[in-house]
Amino acid sequence: MQPTPTQGMSRRGDPTRAGYLLACGVIAGPLFVVTCIVAGATRADYDPLRHPVSSLALGDLGWIQVVNFIVTGALGLAFAFGLGPALRPLGGSPSGALLVGAWATGLLGAGIFVTDPVSGYPSGTPERLAHYGSTHAALHDGLSLIAFLALAVACFVFARRFVGWGKRAWAIYSALTGIAFVATFALSSLGFDQTEGLVGMAGLFQLAAITVGWCWLSLLALHLLQRDVRQHRAEAQGQ
Q: Is the pLDDT of residue 232 over 80?
A: no
The length of the chain, given as a count of residues: 239
At residue 93, φ and ψ (nearest 5 deg) are -80, 165
As a whole number, the mean pLDDT across the chain is 89
- Give 128-137 pLDDT, tens digit per residue: 887 788 898 8
Q: Does residue 9 carry a pLDDT above 80?
A: no
**Distance between CA atoms of 104 and 102, rounded to whole angstroms?**
5
Residue 218: half-sphere exposure toward Cβ, Cα within 13 Å: 15
For the whole model, what pTM was predicted? 0.88
Examine the pLDDT at 5 and tell me if it is beyond 70: no
